[in-house]
Structure 1
């Protein structure tokens, strides 16, 4: 455990200049071992038998229809870090992937002489890296029966905001999208409920939000939104595994929808449960936060050469 207090080069961004204010206090780095062990959470895994698959099995003696159980469970796909100081990813072993480069040197918040102001623009870098515990979670699921394979590759850098500076630091081109300009579209939380944390668009690193945890969470949601879709105007690797017979990978992450994803807090503390945003804030002393992004997979064991169809207990066929 160590205490750190430092400043770095100011981040210049139209129409104002951001100076850096780094929180001081004790912090403990997050390592791969603790991330991997965090996946042993039945609450996050949420293993369920959801239906039956039908297969056609043919042999020299004829053909017959066989069945297998269709299961659904969540898998941790990404370790998503959202942090103030460029190059200071809380996931210690991955910090070297996001060192400052030309055009992506600074980070921080607008310093204001009035601490009671609630219009503080905050900036966060975000890294989305393949979760090292996906295989462990699948093995845990297999103890309850058949389990699905993850579509993510461990330690793969799917998103590094330092490489996406045009979009992440300047909001180009998403600042002029309708989702960015029209209130009430793509919001995390709801205005009517009094828990709206921020807009998904523009998917960039700035947000006016007085609460540091909430700002970091919105940035993580934005990065997850990008990575789980194809053909977005960002520099990233899509995490969009393909459907195949008896294997149904998840669709894109959708805010406020627990059927598409869940977040497990890893830093500043590891929590044993998952939730979607809005969730209970936990403030970090150093402006760094990290979550596991869990997404749902459905699958069934192959019992023949040809997949016919599946029936879900809750209705519907595929």
Structure 2
């Protein structure tokens, strides 16, 4: 049944309008427009002033030290889709990128309707594509002060599991890695807390997990783990922007660590907040899910020819 969205008077506060807008997300298919508008989330952005940068500015009349504010905020870099049917990416405009090809035709879950047997694996394809709303998030950040540039390219296919069939469908070679064979290593959630969803390794498309949302989330985490690292045994484009003077891009994402990344659910519904996994499950009727992957950037405005150093308010010099 469609969601009826109330009209919002212009004088209402922006946060209320944003919440109502995102709450109406399930009534439409996931497309580029809805993905772009989803970035208007102060919760996901998490803009903070974190320190001071020092620059050396030299002119014909001499040199002096100038300062600029160091800021930190998250940027949506990727739309990571996790879905059962090959070629059925929930992001409608990007579905043709992952059409079935030789060696990656099939899809679906190896599950049974028998409620007493839930130990068969689920399978998910995963696509990691450059988020189209990074510029909009940067504009939102600039309202608070200086904003950092994203290291990701919009619409760039950083990972398509159909092109990585040897690793994604057969687990070669990661099924033999120590992280895959030893319990308690690289787990999403924690056994002690009763919320362990699955292992990051092997980073493939199969997982024994009775909950469809949780299985899809583990696959998204696995793909993000690959994309944000160099030299992995997968077919992909690394998203590893290089640091430079006054610009500190994020490192690889690490499961259970909110300082390295956050996820924003986009499908089956758009949520206005970000979280790491484990999070509250939202089941999809067709086995298709999508998240925005947000990662933290730090930067400061250039105020001279030479970067000297920066001081963080919470301690540390870089």
The TM-score with structure 2 as length reference comes to: 0.91
Any idea what the Cα deviations from partners look like across 1:2-23, whole Å, max 9, x if unmatched?
9xxxxxxxxxxxxxxxxxxxxx
Any idea what the Cα deviations from partners look like across 1:47-97, whole Å, max 9, x if unmatched?
000000000000000000000000000000000000000000000000000
Residue 163, structure 1, aligned to residue 145, structure 2: no
Give the conservation status (yes or no) of the 8 Å contact 2:111–2:122: no
Instruction: Write out aligned runs for 1:210-289 (5 A).
Output: 210-289=210-289
Give the gaps of 5 or more residues in structure 1. 3-25
Give the conservation status (yes or no) of the 8 Å contact 1:27–1:285: no
Give the conservation status (yes or no) of the 8 Å contact 1:27–1:286: no
Measure, in 2, the Cα distance between the counterparts of 1:256 and 1:61. Answer: 52
Give the conservation status (yes or no) of the 8 Å contact 2:32–2:93: yes
Give the conservation status (yes or no) of the 8 Å contact 2:187–2:198: yes
In the superposition, relative to structure 1, how do residues 96 and 52 fare at CA in structure 2: closer, same or farther (>3 Å)? same
Cα RMSD over matched residues? 1.3
Partner residue of 1:89? 89
Partner residue of 2:119? 119
Measure, in 2, the Cα distance between the counterparts of 1:112 and 1:88. Answer: 22
Q: Secondary structure at the match of 1:78?
A: strand
Measure, in 1, the Cα distance between the counterparts of 2:63 and 2:111. Answer: 73
Residue 78, structure 1, aligned to residue 58, structure 2: no
The TM-score with structure 1 as length reference comes to: 0.91
Task: Please state which structure has a larger fraction of its residues in helix.
Answer: 2
Measure, in 1, the Cα distance between the counterparts of 2:27 and 2:216. Answer: 17
Measure, in 2, the Cα distance between the counterparts of 1:120 and 1:43. Answer: 37
Measure, in 2, the Cα distance between the counterparts of 1:272 and 1:56. Answer: 41
In the superposition, relative to structure 1, how do residues 28 and 108 fare at CA in structure 2: closer, same or farther (>3 Å)? farther
Partner residue of 2:36? 36
Measure, in 1, the Cα distance between the counterparts of 2:94 and 2:181. Answer: 35
Aligned residues: 295
Give the gaps of 5 or more residues in structure 2. 3-25
Give the conservation status (yes or no) of the 8 Å contact 2:265–2:290: yes
